[in-house]
Chains A and B, each alone.
Chain A
Amino acid sequence: MPSNNTASSSAAGSSDSSTTRRNSKRPKYSKFTQQELPACKPILTPGWVILTFLVISVIFIPLGVVSLFASQDVVEIVDRYDNDCIPPPSRADKVAYIQGAANKTCTRTIVVPKKMKQPIYVYYELENFYQNHRRYVKSRSDAQLRSVRDENQIEGCKPEDDVNGQPIVPCGLIAWSLFNDTYALSKNNQPLNVSKKGIAWKSDREHKFGKNVFPKNFQMGNITGGGRLIPNVPLSEQEDLIVWMRTAALPTFRKLYGKIETDLQENDTIHVVLENNYNTYSFDGKKKLVLSTTSWLGGKNDFLGIAYLTVGGICFFLALAFTIMYLVKPRRLGDPTYLSWNRVPGGGR
């Protein structure tokens, strides 16, 4: 600015430059606003590619071996009983049999293939049962399950919400369809104790199902969907119900029935006296009884082990393939004449 310059032209050099600085419109420099932050700019060189694949295979192959061993250690017995437990004369019309009043007791024999160390978990497995159907999943009242005060919060529970104007506790289709087959196991004529304590998740027992909520008007309607509940046991102790109400993710699922706390030896014969009450015949479902030990990885599932081994192997093979490829094919820097706009005569798109 001319006026300022004449005023400071006689001043010392430092005040001259400070005047110029004061009048400059240059924004304050910062690395962030000028986009000059210290940066790491990695590119995929051959070294990195081969190293990455080798590291992956070195990590994955041992993990796969360990997982596969863990899964192989688990002993699992699966016994499908829904067809066999219907007496031959009734097999033509299974639905009528299961809905009728006939005696539904059935005896199964299981042979233990390998020594099973306790605790041995007893599960029931259902197939073709869509516990993850949206209307089914929504058909419950969490407020009602937690506290007696919210007994009347039955909005989502239709059609199993009330009976003669009285609310059903617990309401909803999930509770109404409670699984009610029972299993009594015995080994060499000695009954095997199946512990039903601690089969539900702790957070469910303590926070989602109230200690002072008791079943009311349960299974009083015209159609019985499943099991009944003991009226004087609070919901937080009805572990079968709690396990059942954790809806499953897939149409084929297992749920924990109980725990056996003694060892089972190889070739032991287990007799199961079961009550075949639950109707899966209307929708072609299957019922299975499963006994399984667990490892640190869970139940018997070779998938993780095999998957890790496969991918580890593939990565190792890829590391070799890339090494060969990088050695065999000389790298052109990337001749710019081969840019796409130069390749087509006249430079088209």
Chain B
Amino acid sequence: MLQEADIGVGISGVEGMQAVMSSDIAIAQFRYLERLLLVHGHWCYSRISSMICYFFYKNITFGVTIFLYEAYTSFSAQPAYNDWFLSLFNVFFSSLPVIAVGVFDQDVSARFCYKFPLLYQEGVQNILFSWKRIIGWMFNGVISALAIFFLCKESLKHQLFDPNGKTAGWEVLGGTMYTCMVWVVNLQLALSISYFTWVQHIVIWGSIALWYIFLMIYGAMSPSFSTDAYMVFLEALAPAPSYWLTTLFVMIFSLIPYFIYKSVKMRFFPVYHQMIQWIRYEGHSNDAEFVEMVRQRSIRPTTVGYTARRAASVRREDRFYDQIHTDLVAF
């Protein structure tokens, strides 16, 4: 049975280790099952869905900027960035933050997972990994990439970015676009999570700082290795105020759409775990009656059997009256 199930949980005890050996997860006492399901089950679902959606987002942002640049090179497959930049994007500059989210993120703390067991239904009902969400993140990636590419291209249109009159070449455009991209992708992650420990701070801000450090170190290596990125940061990019201004502008501009979306969603159309976050924020979580009321109103009705079907058809007619009653309830 343990092997046949989607997830088999074995309990190690006086009856031996057989169950443990053939199970996917082993626990020591039966009461730990509650924590396993309600806390870790919910966290696991929420973390994995945000991680996967974000992965799509950041790689689409990366790929679409390169694709858009191809239109300006008569599609000759000349990438917009230096070879090492291309390889290291998914290794150094955007991977650690998303791993930290996939491992450490907690949208709702363990205490609240116990208090509101219906959070587990978010996973059962596939709320956080629906097609709508996935396509939404991909669309966000495309918008970010469009913003990054066209804004950087326009600001370097005449290649006169340097106060000393020198012109911008391919490496300057590539360096500017890549900097904007690293900032946008990492700040987007910071915007989409709501749980910051020292781990998240170090990996997010560290990845951004690592980009600048990498640029300086790679640029300082001999030109036979660093080819066109030789001294590009210290000599061309850093002394030019327009580079810093462009970076600041692009990073804020690319994040404004998502910021608006999240503000509106959080306030007017919150998902269940966001409702719990509001409850925690407003301090109602210590009010046992309030918590009980929220729990009662969240309960999912049964769906199997004749009684359930009958109740569902009755509910359809009652829903209209329900709505009027809800508006009168003072929370």
Q: Which of B91-122 contact A (CB under 8 A)?
A: 104, 106, 109-110, 118, 121
Whether A347 pairs with B298 at a CB distance below 8 angstroms is: no
Number of interface residues of B (CB under 8 A): 95
A93 is an interface residue with CB less than 8 A from chain B: no
B161 is an interface residue with CB less than 8 A from chain A: yes
Residue of B166, B241, B272, B309 with most chain A CB atoms under a 10 A cut-off: B166
**Binding-face segment, B134-142, B168-176, B181-189:** B168-176
B18 is an interface residue with CB less than 8 A from chain A: no
Whether A292 pairs with B167 at a CB distance below 8 angstroms is: no
Q: CA of A299 to CA of B127 in the docked complex: distance in angstroms? A: 51
Whether A308 pairs with B195 at a CB distance below 8 angstroms is: no
Given known pairs A44-B266, A301-B155, the reply for A346 and B309 (CB within 8 Å) is yes
Whether B72 pairs with A337 at a CB distance below 8 angstroms is: no
Which residues of A are found within 8 Å of B166, using beta-carbon distances? Answer: 199-201, 256
Whether B268 pairs with A331 at a CB distance below 8 angstroms is: yes
Which residues of A are found within 8 Å of B199, using beta-carbon distances? Answer: 37
Chain A 155-180 against B: per-residue CB contact (8 Å), 1 yes, 0 no? 00000000000000000000000000
A69 is an interface residue with CB less than 8 A from chain B: no
Given known pairs A132-B72, A346-B312, the reply for A304 and B249 (CB within 8 Å) is yes
Which residues of A are found within 8 Å of B246, using beta-carbon distances? Answer: 304
Q: Which of B230-277 contact A (CB under 8 A)?
A: 230-231, 235-236, 240-242, 245-246, 249, 252-253, 256, 259-260, 262-263, 266-268, 270, 272, 274-275, 277
Whether B224 pairs with A247 at a CB distance below 8 angstroms is: no
Q: CA of A314 to CA of B162 in the docked complex: distance in angstroms? A: 29
CB distance from A343 to the nearest CB of B (A): 8
Q: Which residue of B lies closest to A290 (CB)?
A: B158
Which residues of A are found within 8 Å of B331, using beta-carbon distances? Answer: 332-333
Given known pairs A134-B76, A142-B223, A349-B126, the reply for A307 and B263 (CB within 8 Å) is no
Given known pairs A42-B194, A44-B263, the reply for A299 and B74 (CB within 8 Å) is no
Which residues of B are found within 8 Å of A251, using beta-carbon distances? Answer: 72-74
Which residues of A are found within 8 Å of B249, using beta-carbon distances? Answer: 60, 304, 307-308, 311
A250 is an interface residue with CB less than 8 A from chain B: yes
Whether A342 pairs with B300 at a CB distance below 8 angstroms is: yes
A253 is an interface residue with CB less than 8 A from chain B: yes
Which residues of B are found within 8 Å of A35, using beta-carbon distances? Answer: 104, 106, 110
Given known pairs A336-B297, A337-B297, A339-B298, the reply for A25 and B74 (CB within 8 Å) is no
Contact of B313 among A255, A303, A345 (CB under 8 A): A345
Whether A254 pairs with B198 at a CB distance below 8 angstroms is: no
B278 is an interface residue with CB less than 8 A from chain A: yes
A320 is an interface residue with CB less than 8 A from chain B: no
Q: CA of A119 to CA of B162 in the docked complex: distance in angstroms? A: 13
Whether B274 pairs with A334 at a CB distance below 8 angstroms is: yes
Whether B241 pairs with A297 at a CB distance below 8 angstroms is: yes
Given contacts A56-B252, A254-B160, A294-B165, 16 further A-B contacts (CB under 8 A): A42-B196, A44-B266, A49-B259, A133-B76, A207-B222, A248-B159, A248-B169, A249-B168, A292-B160, A297-B241, A299-B161, A336-B118, A336-B297, A339-B272, A340-B127, A345-B313
Q: 28 A–B contact pairs at CB < 8 A?
A: A39-B196, A42-B196, A43-B194, A49-B259, A123-B167, A130-B74, A130-B76, A142-B227, A201-B235, A249-B159, A249-B172, A250-B153, A250-B173, A254-B158, A256-B166, A259-B165, A297-B161, A298-B242, A299-B160, A311-B256, A314-B256, A318-B260, A332-B331, A335-B326, A340-B125, A346-B309, A346-B315, A349-B125
The 4 closest A-B pairs by CB, nearest first: A299-B160, A249-B173, A336-B298, A346-B312
Interface of B toward A, CB cutoff 8 Å? 28, 72-74, 76-78, 104, 106, 109-110, 118, 121, 125-127, 151, 153-174, 194-199, 222-224, 227, 230-231, 235-236, 240-242, 245-246, 249, 252-253, 256, 259-260, 262-263, 266-268, 270, 272, 274-275, 277-281, 294, 297-298, 300-301, 303, 308-309, 312-313, 315-316, 319, 322, 326, 329, 331
